[in-house]
Amino acid sequence: MSLNTTPAAERVHIGIFGKRNAGKSSLINAITSQELAIVSEQKGTTTDPVYKAMELLPLGPVMIIDTPGLDDEGELGA
C-alpha cells in the first residue's frame, strides 16, 4: 500500500492541543509547509478540527490534526 492510498485509520494520528491563539495553527502550517490552517489575531478562528494526511519521516504515513482551543469560549466558538 502506498503512502498516498493509506487509509486514515491506518495512519499515526498527531493532534496539536492547547489554548486559543497559542500558535497551534502556525505550527501545523510549519510542519506541513502549507498554509493549511487559518492563522489570525482573532482568538477562536479554528472552530473545527483541520486534518492533513501526509508522510512524516521516520514515522511514515500520518494524519496531522489542528484542533480548536481547549478554552473555546469566544464569540466565534459559540
Q: For position 14, what pLDDT does the model report?
A: 95
Rg (CA), the chain: 13
- Which residue in this structure is represented by grid cell 510549519? 30
Residue 70: closest CA among 46, 37, 40: 46
Helix (H) or strand (E) holding 31: helix 24-32
Give the Å distances, CA to CA, from 68 to 1, 12, 26. 32, 20, 13
Residue 9, pLDDT above cutoff 70: yes
Residue 72, pLDDT above cutoff 70: no
Percent of the chain with pLDDT over 70: 87
